[in-house]
Structure 1
């Protein structure tokens, strides 16, 4: 008689459960300003608590958790930032990405509602760019600005800008992708196309940005109509993934009409799936997040993107990866 298969241990389940806690500890550290308070110094728990005006007994629990997570280190005289925390989580440093945690605050709250969204057949944490509270939208844009800035910088390094004199960031939120481009392409004529309410928010965030001088703001919806002028380069970053399939197709057609002959389109975002629909994992799990936030938003497959682009008239469609690992789709208008 064949022996019964061994009952597996819940190793994977326990690993998945445990992976959440370090992320939440990091989030708390960023929101409290722990990494910025430490800076390049080594401080006792009481000194960090004094700088943050919080209870040292409670804060020390978090400090030890951040050591366990690998973000902080313990030296003889106290706590200090580890290499990554010192580089990316100290406010005021060039590589600071802590503001992204304002965005994660919304995304992680939404992820907790996945079962509710499925059960009720609606986005349980619905986000509407057109009607959101201005303060909440400003926080959302502030959270996306660092990644947008980095994205623009990376594009400037990756893309051949020969013959590119103008660029439009469609649905570009805070407009920082264009600022990233202008750091090395200062003569580039740039346009931000956004909903009217979002234009006001972008202007607030760009008010003290020298490289925003001359930036053209265009209020409108790319789902409804093309840009009022044509451009050599169009960027759709994290736009298609918040739309229905029908509106995604309309957006790509209207973007085609917004380009000069020979102009290029670049699409990026976490919502680009391989055709097997189980990779890359980031896009798979963001597909759940989009379901919680948007009525029809989703991660779409490479095949779907290729079909939309081909039907709109684009050629030279290519899929690539950026240094950060995120996927990038490029196409050209003949």
Structure 2
């Protein structure tokens, strides 16, 4: 067969990728998918439902149909299977809240200035991921269920037996965001006593979620900075989901030492991350997330399993075990807190 001729199509599609994000984000904000939840509608009906000109509704719905999120038949639009399942507000599988995170103005600005970040070696934003009181983390806590729920369920499956065997077990969920990891474990392990830690500005969301799940009696909220605030403990297990990728290796090791000091000997540390491939590219999700960290943090990036193993073993942990569930794009590492060495007898 003759070799395939070069084509710029892939390049153009990549350059135009932000357009698809903008169209989908607008449709979620305007309530287009909810307007179509009861059945096919003409552009004029969509326009009336979302309060916009018919011309605008027609252009938006045609764009969504070209992306496979709507079907158009006889000038009427209906939801695709994926849109009906994941983009109709109020349905249990609703994932539209993720748009508030992925399309947050701060992240859009970060990638608009990505070339500057590359030259600088880190974010050039005045307000970034590590800015104290960053409002993005409130948005994240309120809208991360689509990401967090499946991962929290998997984390619970990794820790539940260990926790149940040590009932009443003490658990710390650090930089907890929505609190869903610790709360999911508490919901399945009646003997678990969970501490949820995050910034003061995130705590209202955490407390609300705790009350909604009826877990207030077994859950303590600890507002503070994980680098400076006392972690409490000792704990039987610590959960650190999507924490370490924000920092340099040295900072990660400092944080891991804090976690080790807060664990009982034999305790477990569960780290949830995008673990990069050893070649840097074979896990595309981790490779792209490293770019997010370059744009959004001062020194963060994703790390490979070998890099995490070195960090763990240098900071008081045994080498971690890697878990890579096929239904998720991220991975889990579980490491045991090593017992302190006893001084040799003279």
SS at 2:103 equivalent: helix
- Answering whether residue 223 of structure 2 is matched by residue 219 of structure 1, we say yes
- Answering whether residue 66 of structure 2 is matched by residue 63 of structure 1, we say no
User: Equivalent residue for 1:286?
Assistant: 289
- Answering whether residue 117 of structure 2 is matched by residue 117 of structure 1, we say yes
The Cα RMSD (Å) is 2.6
Task: State which of 306, 310, 313 in structure 2 corresponds to 1:307.
Answer: 310
User: Equivalent residue for 1:100?
Assistant: 98
Q: How far apart are residue 237 of structure 1 and its match? A: 0.6
Alignment of 1:1-334 (within 5 A): 8-76=6-74, 78-106=76-104, 107-125=107-125, 126-132=127-133, 134=135, 136-161=136-161, 162-164=164-166, 165-203=169-207, 205-206=208-209, 209-214=212-217, 215-224=219-228, 227-270=231-274, 272-322=275-325, 323-334=327-338
Q: How far apart are residue 188 of structure 1 and its match? A: 2.5
Change (3 A) 1:309 1:38: same
Tell me how far apart the structure 2 counterparts of residues 40 and 232 of structure 1 sit (CA, whole Å).
49
8 Å CA contact 2:196–2:221 kept in 1: the answer is yes
8 Å CA contact 2:137–2:177 kept in 1: the answer is no
Mind listing any 5+ residue stretches in structure 1 that lack a counterpart?
A: none
Q: How far apart are residue 241 of structure 1 and its match? A: 0.7
Would you say how many aligned residue pairs link Structure 1 and Structure 2?
327
SS at 1:295 equivalent: coil
Tell me how far apart the structure 2 counterparts of residues 169 and 25 of structure 1 sit (CA, whole Å).
36
Tell me how far apart the structure 2 counterparts of residues 149 and 36 of structure 1 sit (CA, whole Å).
22
8 Å CA contact 2:210–2:216 kept in 1: the answer is no
Tell me how far apart the structure 2 counterparts of residues 247 and 208 of structure 1 sit (CA, whole Å).
34
Mind listing any 5+ residue stretches in structure 2 that lack a counterpart?
A: 339-346
8 Å CA contact 1:34–1:48 kept in 2: the answer is yes
SS at 2:189 equivalent: coil
Tell me how far apart the structure 1 counterparts of residues 140 and 329 of structure 2 sit (CA, whole Å).
23
SS at 1:91 equivalent: coil
Tell me how far apart the structure 2 counterparts of residues 65 and 239 of structure 1 sit (CA, whole Å).
36
8 Å CA contact 1:102–1:142 kept in 2: the answer is no
